Structure 1
Amino acid sequence: MPLGTILLGLFGVALIALGGTGAGGTLIHDPLLADTALSWIRYGHGKDLATAVLYGGLGLLVWAWIRLGRGVRAELVGRKAMLLTIGVWMLPLLVAPPLFSRDVYSYLAQGQLALEGFDPYQAGPSVLPGPLTENVSWVWQNTPAPYGPLFMLVAKGVVAVTGTSLIGGVVLIRLMMGLGVVLLCWSLPGLARHLGGRPAVALWLGVANPLMLVHLVGGAHNDMLMVGLLATGVLLVLERRHVSGVAVVTLATAVKATAVVALPFLVWVWAARLVGSRRSRFVRAAGWGVAIFVTVFTLCTLVAEVSLGWIPALRTSSTIVNWLSLPTALGQFVHLVVNWVVHVDEGIFLGITRGLGMLLLAWLAIKQWWAARDGGPEAVRRAAVTLLAVGLLSPATLPWYFSWPLVVGAGLAWGSTGLVLVALGSVWMLLVTFPSGDTALYSWGYLFLTLLAALLAAVSLVRPDPLRLSSRPVEDFLLPRMTR
C-alpha cells in the first residue's frame, strides 16, 4: 500500500483547503472570519501567506500524484489503492472554500431565483439582491443560467435546504456534485475493461488527477456531476444496457449540454448490435435514442418546473474571452496585429474567428461520427476526440472543460508518451487560474513558470528525479508491490 504517497497528497490537499480560506473564492462578508482575530488572513501579508500555503499544497499534491502515477505505470498500484487514495484526498476539499472559481455562488443564486418563482433562464441573479447574489462575479450578475433542468432542480433543492447560508450552500452543492466522483469511481474501471486500458490508470487519470480534484471538487463545478453521469451512461451502453445508458447520458445533458455530443456516437454502438442492414439498424437505434432522450429530458424539465430557455442562454458563455479557445486566440492575435496600424473593435475579429471555429468543429465532429459507424470501443474513442475538439474550438473555454474528453478517454490503452502529455496538460491547466478564480492567462511571466513546473512534473512521471537532486537509485522511487 503506497501509504507515504497517500499521506503526502493528503497533507497537500489539507494545505490547499487551509490556504483557500484566505486566497480562494472567499465570501464578501464571511460569518466565520469577519471581525475575528483571523480576519487578517484575507488581506495584505495575511493573504500572501495564505496564497503561499495554498501553492505549497498544490506542489505536494502534484508530487504525490506523479509518484502514484509511477506506481500505476509499473503495475505496483491497483484499483483498490486508487479508490482509497481518491477518497482520502477528496475529504479536505469537501469543506474547503471555493477554489479557483466563484461559479458555485452563481449556482446558488440561480437556484434561489428558481425557488422564488423567477425564471433563471430569463433573469440574472441581480434581480434578487441578497447574500447569495452579492458574491456572484460581476460578469454573471445579469446573465441567465446556461445549465440544464436537472442541475437547476439540484440548485433549487440545495437553496431550499440551506436558505441564504453561503457556507452551508457551498458544502451541500459540493456534496451533490460529489455524486459525480462516486459515479466515476464505479464506471472508469468498467470503461477500461471495454476500451483496452487498465482500471488503475483510468482512475489515476480521470479522478485522482489534481485538475479533477482541485477544479471540479474544490471548485464545486457542475461539470463533475455531468462527467460522472456521462461516463456511467457510456459504460452502460458498452455493457448492452442501451436504454439505461442513453437515459443516463440524457441526464448528463440535463446538467450541462456538452454531454449531448456523446449520444450520436452511442447510437452507432447500439446499432452495431442489431440485425439487418446498416441503414435499418441505424434508423432503429437512432429512433429509440431520440425517443428516450425526449422522454427523459421532458420529465426533467417538468419536474424542475423550468422552460427550455437555457438553450438560447448557452450563448452567454461567449462572454468569456481567453486564448484557451483557439478561435478566440486567433481573433485576439489578428486584432493585435491590425491594431498596430488602425484601431478596430476586437469584437469584429472574435465574431469572425469564432464563427469559423464553429464551422471547423462541426466538420470535425461529423467526420469523427461517420468514422465511428462500426460502433464498439472505436466509437467511444472518437467521442473523446470530439469532446476534445469541443474544448479547443468552442467560442469560450475554461481549464476544467478538458475534463470532458479526459473522463471519456481515461479507459483507453495509454502509452508512456500519452500519459506524459496528459500529465503536462493537467498540471498546466490546474495552474492557469489564480486561486481566487481570476484568470492567469495574460500573466505571461507566471505562465512561463507554470509551464516549467508542468514540464518537470510530466517528465518526472517517466524519469524519476530528472534534475538529479537525489543520490538514491531510481528503484527507490518506485512503490512497494501491493495486491491488486
Structure 2
Amino acid sequence: MSTMSSPPITGPGDEPDSSEPGGRTRVAERPVERAHPGQVADSGTGTSGTSRTATATGIPSRTILLGVIGACLAALGALGAGGILVRDPILSGTPLTWVRFGHGKNLAELVVYLGVGLLVWAWVRLGRHVRAGRVGRKGVLLAIGAWCVPVMLGPPLFTRDVYSYLGQGLLPLEGLDTYALGPAAVDGPIAENVAWIWQTTPAPYGPLFILIAKGVVAISGHNMIAGVLLMRVALIGGLLMLCWALPRLAERVGGNPSVALWIGVANPLVVVHLVGGPHNDLMMVGLLAVGTLMVMRRQHVLGIVLVTLGAAIKIQAVVVLPFLVWIWARHLRGTDLARFTRAAGTGAAVFFAAFAACQLVANVSLGWIPALSANSVVINWTSLPTGAGQLAHGIASWFYSPSHSLYYNTARTLGMALLGYIALRQWWKSRDGEEANVLRRAALVMLGMSVLLQTTFPWYFTLALALAAALPLSEWASTVIVFGSAFQIAISYPDGDAASNNYLHVAVLVLLAWLAATSLVRPDPLKFSRRSKGAHL
C-alpha cells in the first residue's frame, strides 16, 4: 500500500498517521488521541518504524478502552452464539434463553462480530502508535492484558476444541487410551459437548498436553465451566512466555520490541482464538519463542528442551529444531562439518531424551503419531492443496463423476511434497547461522505449514507470527500481516462451524480486512472526515 504524499485527514477517533518513507513524522490536521505521556527516545531509523528501538512510555488509553469494549462484546455475544454448552447452566431457565436460538442467536452473532471488529480496529490504532514510536512495550502490554481478560471469562469463541481437550484428559483418567479412542468412549457432559466431527477422533496432541489436560480434568471433574476456565489458566503461560521472549528476540535480530508485541501477542488472532478459544497452540508458541531465545543466548540445551516441550504439546514445533542447530553450530569452534555434527548430534540427543521424559511422565504411548492425520477429515479451501483439489474436482465434474478422494488426496500429497521442498531449501539457506536469517527462514517454513498442510485453521498462522513478529518488518509486510489476521479471525462462525463456503461472508471479510490493512498506513481510507467537512461548507 502506498502512503499518501499529502497530509491525511483523520476522522473522529483516528490517530494521526506518522509513518512516512525516511522515518519523518507527519502531523495530521486534527489529532484526536494522544498517547500520554508522549516522550519518545528513538534510536535508529527505518522506513516503516519497525526497525526502531522504541522506548516510548505512552499509554493510548482510548485505544485500549476501544479494544476492551470489543472484547467484552465478543464475550457477551458468545453467551448465545459461541461454543456454548449443550446444557447451559447460565442461561437455561432464564428469560435470556432466546439468545441461543433463531433470531436471538443471529443477534448474538452480530454482537460477537461487532466486538471482534472493534478489537481489530483498536489493534490497528495501536499499531499506528507503535510504528510511529509513540507507544512502547508498557502500552502494548497493558493493551494485551486488558483485551485478554474479558475473553478469558466468556464462553469459547469460534471453536469447541476446548471440550475435546477436556475429553482427551478424561480418557486416561478413566483408564482408557486417548490415542486409540475419542471422547465418545466416555459418558457425561464432557463427551456430549465435543463437536460431532471429533467425537470418535483420537487425540493428535503430544504427551505434555495430555498431561496438562489430565491435570485440568482431575481438578474440574465434570464441571464444564470450571474445566474451560482452568484450561485457559493452564495455557495462559504461553502468552506470558510470548510477552517475555518476543521483545528480546526483536532486540537480537534488529526488530522493534514494541512492534513484536503488537504483531505477535496483541494480535486479535491470539486474543480471540488462542486465548478466547482457547487453543493449546498458545502454550506451544510460547515455549517455541523462549526456546529460540535461549539458543541464541548460548543456553543451547535449555533452548532445545523448551522447543521439545513445545513439540510435546503439538508436533509442529519440531520443525524449528533443525534451524536452531545452525545457530548452535555458529557458536562452536572447528570446521563447518565438525561444528554442525556436534550441534546436530547433541541436539538430537537432547530432543529424544526430553521427549521420552514427557512420554514417561504422562504415561502415554506413541499413538499420537498415527493420530496426526485426524484433521484430514476437515475439508476447507483455506488449505491451499485442499482448495486446489476442490477446484480440480469441480472442473472434472463437468465431464464425468469423479471421486472426491482421488483429487483431494493427490492435491494434498503434492502440497506436502512442496512443503518438504520449501523446508529443506530454507533450512539449507540458513546454514550461516546468522540469527535474523535463521529466524526469517524458519518463520517462512511455519507460514508454509499453515497454508500447505492438509487442513488449515485460523490460529495456525500464529505459529509463524511467533517468530516473524521479532524481525524488522517493512510497511508492506506489516499491512499483509494485518490483512491476513483480520481475514482469518472470522473465517469461522462464532460457534466454531466453518464459514469458508459462505462466499458472501468471505467477500465481506476480504473487504473489511483490506480496510483494516489500509488503515494501518492511511488513516480514514474511506475519507469519512473529508465528507463530513464538506457537508459543513
1:19 alignment counterpart? 77
Residue 231 (1) aligns with residue 289 (2):
yes
Residue 254 (1) aligns with residue 351 (2):
no
Q: State the alpha-carbon separation in 2 of the partners of residues 364 and 84 from structure 1.
A: 38
Q: State the alpha-carbon separation in 1 of the partners of residues 271 and 526 from structure 2.
A: 27
CA positional deviation for 1:45: 2.2
Q: Which residue of 331, 337, 359 corresponds with 2:395?
A: 337
Q: Which residue of 174, 199, 206 corresponds with 1:116?
A: 174
Q: State the alpha-carbon separation in 2 of the partners of residues 321 and 278 from structure 1.
A: 45
Residue 407 (1) aligns with residue 466 (2):
yes
Task: Provide the secondary structure at the position in 1 that maps to 2:298.
Answer: coil
TM-score when scaled to structure 2?
A: 0.87
2:451 alignment counterpart? 392
Task: Provide the secondary structure at the position in 2 that maps to 1:122.
Answer: coil
Task: Provide the secondary structure at the position in 2 that maps to 1:470.
Answer: helix
Residue 372 (1) aligns with residue 430 (2):
yes
Task: Give 1:131-280 correspondences, 5 Å limit.
Answer: 131-280=189-338
Q: State the alpha-carbon separation in 2 of the partners of residues 345 and 120 from structure 1.
A: 32
2:535 alignment counterpart? none
Q: Which amino acid aligns with 2:462?
A: S
Q: Which amino acid aligns with 1:433?
A: S
1:432 alignment counterpart? 491
Q: State the alpha-carbon separation in 1 of the partners of residues 502 and 110 from structure 2.
A: 18
Task: Provide the secondary structure at the position in 1 that maps to 2:124.
Answer: helix
Q: State the alpha-carbon separation in 2 of the partners of residues 284 and 70 from structure 1.
A: 45
CA positional deviation for 1:382: 0.7
Q: Which amino acid aligns with 1:409?
A: A
Does the 8 Å CA contact 1:238/1:376 hold for their aligned counterparts? no
Residue 321 (1) aligns with residue 379 (2):
yes
Q: State the alpha-carbon separation in 1 of the partners of residues 349 and 283 from structure 2.
A: 23
1:49 alignment counterpart? 107
Residue 418 (1) aligns with residue 464 (2):
no
Q: Which amino acid aligns with 2:147?
A: W
Q: State the alpha-carbon separation in 2 of the partners of residues 409 and 238 from structure 1.
A: 15
Q: State the alpha-carbon separation in 1 of the partners of residues 118 and 409 from structure 2.
A: 42
Residue 446 (1) aligns with residue 505 (2):
yes
CA positional deviation for 1:471: 4.6
Q: Which amino acid aligns with 1:458?
A: A
CA positional deviation for 1:68: 0.5
Residue by residue over 1:313-370, the C-alpha shift from the partner in whole angstroms, topping out at 9 and shown as x without a partner, is 1011211111111111111111000011111111111111111111111111111111
Q: Which amino acid aligns with 2:372?
A: L
Task: Provide the secondary structure at the position in 1 that maps to 2:528.
Answer: coil
CA positional deviation for 1:469: 0.6
Q: Which amino acid aligns with 1:386?
A: V
1:477 alignment counterpart? none
Residue 78 (1) aligns with residue 136 (2):
yes
Residue by residue over 1:223-264, the C-alpha shift from the partner in whole angstroms, topping out at 9 and shown as x without a partner, is 111001101101111111111100000000000000000000
Does the 8 Å CA contact 1:267/1:282 hold for their aligned counterparts? yes
Task: Provide the secondary structure at the position in 1 that maps to 2:154.
Answer: coil
Task: Provide the secondary structure at the position in 1 that maps to 2:489.
Answer: helix
Task: Provide the secondary structure at the position in 1 that maps to 2:116.
Answer: helix
Residue 461 (1) aligns with residue 516 (2):
no
CA positional deviation for 1:48: 1.8
Q: State the alpha-carbon separation in 2 of the partners of residues 317 and 154 from structure 1.
A: 21
Extract unaligned runs of 5+ from structure 1.
474-484
Q: State the alpha-carbon separation in 2 of the partners of residues 19 and 254 from structure 1.
A: 34
Extract unaligned runs of 5+ from structure 2.
1-58, 533-537
Aligned residues: percent identity? 53
Q: State the alpha-carbon separation in 1 of the partners of residues 165 and 447 from structure 2.
A: 25
Q: Which amino acid aligns with 2:444?
A: V
1:480 alignment counterpart? none
Q: State the alpha-carbon separation in 2 of the partners of residues 437 and 88 from structure 1.
A: 24
Task: Provide the secondary structure at the position in 2 that maps to 1:350.
Answer: helix
Q: State the alpha-carbon separation in 1 of the partners of residues 68 and 233 from structure 2.
A: 19
Q: State the alpha-carbon separation in 2 of the partners of residues 413 and 384 from structure 1.
A: 13
Q: State the alpha-carbon separation in 1 of the partners of residues 124 and 422 from structure 2.
A: 33
Q: Which residue of 367, 381, 399 corresponds with 1:309?
A: 367
Q: Which amino acid aligns with 1:18?
A: L
Task: Provide the secondary structure at the position in 1 that maps to 2:187.
Answer: coil
1:102 alignment counterpart? 160
Q: State the alpha-carbon separation in 2 of the partners of residues 105 and 98 from structure 1.
A: 9
Task: Provide the secondary structure at the position in 1 that maps to 2:200.
Answer: coil
1:357 alignment counterpart? 415
2:13 alignment counterpart? none
Does the 8 Å CA contact 1:173/1:220 hold for their aligned counterparts? yes
Q: Which amino acid aligns with 2:292?
A: V
Task: Provide the secondary structure at the position in 1 that maps to 2:529.
Answer: coil
Q: Which amino acid aligns with 2:501?
A: Y
1:67 alignment counterpart? 125
Q: Which amino acid aligns with 2:356?
A: T
Task: Provide the secondary structure at the position in 2 that maps to 1:431.
Answer: coil
Q: Which amino acid aligns with 1:223?
A: D
Q: Which amino acid aligns with 2:346?
A: W
Structure with bigger gyration radius: 2
2:17 alignment counterpart? none
CA positional deviation for 1:472: 11
Task: Provide the secondary structure at the position in 1 that maps to 2:370.
Answer: helix
CA positional deviation for 1:287: 1.0
RMSD (Å), alpha carbons: 1.1
Q: State the alpha-carbon separation in 1 of the partners of residues 455 and 115 from structure 2.
A: 29
CA positional deviation for 1:376: 2.2
Q: State the alpha-carbon separation in 1 of the partners of residues 359 and 94 from structure 2.
A: 45
